Amino acid sequence: MMSRSTTRVARAVLGHMGPRYFSTTALHGGVASDLQAIRGVLGGTTTFLHGNLAQNSEKLFVGRMRLPAVGGARNVGTFALGDKQQEEEKKVQGGATGGAASAGGGNNNKGIVSYWGVEPAKITKEDGSEWRWNSFKPWETYKADLSIDLKKHHAPVTFLDKVAYWTVKVLRLPTDIFFQRRYGCRAMMLETVAAVPGMVGGMLLHCKSLRRFEHSGGWIKALLEEAENERMHLMTFMEVSQPRWYERALVFTVQGVFFNAYFLTYLVSPKLAHRIVGYLEEEAIHSYTEFLTELDKGTIENVPAPAIAIDYWRMPPNSTLRDVVMVVRADEAHHRDVNHFASDIHYQGHELKAAPAPIGYH
């Protein structure tokens, strides 16, 4: 008799509560409704449970049934939460969600719920307006030094210098054939390659510093700074010209080949690797000079400068594409100097850490 009663109770309870706890649909109600359902199902058969023991057993049973995390609630015990506790938990969760959403404000960010306490700080410009960029902050911006000598050139004298020089000249040929006078797309392709050496060099110096338990003389930061600066060039030109599908495919190919080739070159001969980059930057200066010539001729429309460029280089609000190309060319000239300098250090028999790195040399 007892066995039959227990079977009927179990079937009825599962029939009533099964869809609530093993379904993907939204759930309504709480422990109170579950207890009421159980009492209705048990009816007169609960007489074997006496007084408070019956109520506590019911709570224990329902608490175990609610163990799966449902609707985002966290049940960490076997006992069911009271109505008051549930309301407090919902308020806490609602407050966390609202706080995260408000912290996201600006930049079209969605609120992200997290209890780690990592919230973005609200940053403003000097004029008090909200800072709109997440990829860089106001203290990372600067005014480009346009007075730098653009005509400086390292004459290839040694064998490795000549290898570096002619390697770059050979690499320029397919670029001229493929892009011809499309300087916007040419600049994008150039920056996808130019941003690789700094990252590779910085990464290898970082690993070397860890292996040898020694400082790098600031060169890790200097090279990673160069890589980030080149990437910002790319982000800027992406606002001016969008690459076609086959140009994107070409970037995948060129970047994959160049990254691995430069990685191996840097492992074998850092002085050759830096010399190659120095000559690449000289070619970049030449390419941007031709870009400026086409802008002056009117062949390429001198559109307003992208907002990201105005903020990154602290340019006047009425700046144009020509102004952007000017500051990018100046950046490339600084990268030219840094890499030829790094190669000279190696040629003189020293490691980079022997000379202070030109951090912030823009």
List pLDDT tens digits, range 299-309.
889 999 999 99
Instruction: Give buried/exposed letters for 76-96 (b at 16+ CB in 10 A, else e).
Output: eeeebbeeeeeeeeeeeeeee
Which neighbouring-strand residues pair with 130? Answer: 124
Please report the pLDDT score of residue 240 as a whole number. Answer: 84
Between vectors from CA 307 to CA 301 and to CA 313, what angle results, nearest 5°? 100
Q: Rounded to an integer, what distance in angstroms lies between the CA atom of residue 362 and that of residue 232?
A: 13
Please report the pLDDT score of residue 149 as a whole number. Answer: 94
What are the pLDDT digits (tens) for 65-85?
A: 444 444 444 444 433 444 444
| Structure token digits, residue 194 | 């130019």
Q: Is the pTM of this model over 0.75?
A: no
Q: Rounded to an integer, what distance in angstroms lies between the CA atom of residue 239 and that of residue 343?
A: 34
Please report the pLDDT score of residue 304 as a whole number. Answer: 95
| Structure token digits, residue 350 | 């020293």
Handedness of CA 247, 252, 257, 258 (dihedral sign): positive
| Structure token digits, residue 31 | 């422990």
Q: Rounded to an integer, what distance in angstroms lies between the CA atom of residue 39 and that of residue 96?
A: 36
Q: Rounded to an integer, what distance in angstroms lies between the CA atom of residue 162 and that of residue 153?
A: 13
Between vectors from CA 320 to CA 319 and to CA 323, what angle results, nearest 5°? 80
In tens digits, the chain (362 residues) has pLDDT values of: 545 555 665 566 556 555 554 444 444 444 444 445 445 544 444 443 444 444 444 444 444 444 444 444 444 443 344 444 455 444 444 444 443 333 333 455 566 777 888 877 788 887 778 888 888 999 999 999 999 999 999 999 999 999 999 999 998 888 777 777 777 778 888 888 999 999 999 999 999 999 999 999 999 999 999 999 999 999 999 888 887 888 788 888 889 999 999 999 999 999 999 999 999 999 999 999 999 999 999 988 999 999 999 999 999 999 999 999 999 999 999 999 999 999 999 999 999 999 999 988 87
